[in-house]
Amino acid sequence: MNAYEEYMKQIVQPMRQELTGHGFTELTSVEEVENHMESAKGISFIVINSVCGCAAGLARPAAIEAIENLTQKPDHLVTVFAGQDQEATERMRNYFSEVPPSSPSMAIWKDGQLAYFIPREQIENFSKEAIVDHVQGVLEQLVTS
């Protein structure tokens, strides 16, 4: 690993831990993504993490708060890190290729198919509270249906 790669690894570690510390499983390889996506039953809440400011100030905090306040939680919480784990992120995006790549973003995978997608455009210009409400509304509807 060169000095740049080592530096980036250290820089993004807290960004990874923000989600993994709240119950998200990080998928860092193509195999991990495929294993999850092919075998997961029920609902997976997927956060496509990013280094950008809207991920730090909005997407990660909103995802965490939305999950913490749900009475019925999704079956799985997973994350891939765009720009860091590129092959895993690309493989994840292939599962919902009908939507353009976007990071940060959030996807809800239910019973083997994309049930809902929240692109960067519905994150970066919104308040954290609006994003929390959006995520909770969708998840509550999907968990009970």
Look up residue 133 and give its amino acid: D
Preceding peptide of 104 cis, ω within 30° = yes
Question: What is the CB neighbour count within 10 angstroms for residue 132?
Answer: 21
Which of 8, 30, 51, 52 is an active site residue?
A: 52
Q: Hey, what's the torsion of the CAs at 132, 69, 95, 86, to 10 degrees?
A: 80
120 is an active site residue: no
Classify residue 72 as exposed, middle or buried by CB count within 10 Å of its CB (0-12, 13-18, 19+). exposed
Nearest Cα to Cα of residue 84 among 124, 27, 33: 27
Active site residue 54: yes
Catalytic residue among 54, 56, 114, 130: 54
Contact 116, 107 (CB under 8 A): yes
Q: Active-site positions?
A: 52, 54
